[in-house]
Structure 1
Amino acid sequence: MATWYDHPQYFDMVFRDETDAEVAFFEQAFDKFADGKVKRLLEPGCGSGRLVVGMAAKGYDVTGLDLSKPMLKYLRDRMKRRKLPGTYVLGDMTEMNFDEPFDATFCTFNTFRHLLDEAAAEKHLRSVAANLRVGGIYILGFHLIPMDADPECTERWRASHGGTNVSVTLRVMDFDRKKRQELLRVSVKAVKRNGKVEKIRSEFPLRIYTPTQAKKLLAKVSDVLAIEGIYDFDYEIDEQREFDNDLTDAVFVLKRI
């Protein structure tokens, strides 16, 4: 059975509907929080690159970085088809080293949680800061887990594009608060226009954060990144959230100081 990350087209289809809202929020956040003009952008852990494409289509100079060769190839081919310029880097989001600083960086929808320990998470944040100009911003989004959260969770999505119908099931297979990890299984069934069926299954761990644990982590890097705004996945620029135990779908706007 094939794996999720070897089939970027399905990954892209599932989250495509979120793109317009995120792109609009990014631009609003640039205007509200960044010092000076924002032109050069970086997405660490860009995956299939739906946000790279979305921001490049708006005229930004965008660099996407990822560890997956299939994801980067899919992104490169898609940008080429749309005749959009971009830069694609095979690399680790904890060890980034670019010649010029970026004006803004973004990493949303739990990519950050693939960093499985505190050291890697802090290293990533400091690597972002080192590649971000003073006054630039980092938009970081990931789910937080309340202390009373039900560890048994299943989510399902459906998506269609170009005659292909995709159904996705995301299930929590294991949940360990002590180790601060949950194991997720993603099952994908794709039915193509010609009737061919493709099934994909992947399992991967993600790091768990409560609001308190996220607050402690961000405090560790407060010498280089300051919290300027807190939002949720509704992406309403005029509706900030409190950093409290009710915050679950968190989007942090961090400024390089």
Structure 2
Amino acid sequence: MMRIILSVFLLFVAPWAHAQTPPSTADVAGYRGLHLAAHEGDADAIRRLSASGADVDARDRAGRTPAHVAAFASNEAALRALAEAGADVNALENRAYDVLTIAAVADDPDLVSLAMELGNRPDRITSVYDGTALIAAAHLGHHEAVRRLIAGGAPLDHVNNLGWTALMEAVVLGDGGQDHVATVRVLVEAGADTEIPDRDGVTPLQHAEARGYDEIAAIIRAALGR
């Protein structure tokens, strides 16, 4: 019964990390000024425009600032130039994502590190699920991003409004493959609480065992001393 309920639930929930909406072709065609420079990675234009008074936190129709656009395009030099010009790297766009969570979902560890270096807080609550960049990365099995977020001080045991931690998401929304195994290992070795259950009282270990994720279950059992 638990498998059936979980399968139905995941049908609606699993796509959440992909709910981010990068600029469309139409959006880009309409960009001017800092948004266009951010998309194209033109750091010199960003410096010139910001020096002339352009609003570094201007929003497009989806609430994306130039910093969000730079993150979606993985343009590190543009993001750095925007931050140096005073852009708010912690800003949330209309879907409540910040630069750091965009980088985590894109599996761009270098951008993850840069965002934190520029002041994007790893404890920022993002998405309609009140999660964090760490939860988003763990869900997708982006273990190097997870490692860097933890090193940057991301809260290991934040519980989102689904009642799940990063560890729980790595198990429940993961596929049990090597990327999620590595993600669970990073989280557990960093000290993530392996006993925080979901709202039904089911622990990460119980979920792993029920889904036949033997390697993940073994990692959690070892942490529990079993």
- Structure with the bigger percentage of strand: 1
Work out which structure has the larger RCO, using CA pairs closer than 8 Å and 6 or more positions apart in sequence.
1
User: Which is richer in helix?
Assistant: 2
- Which entry has the higher C-alpha Rg, 1 or 2? 2
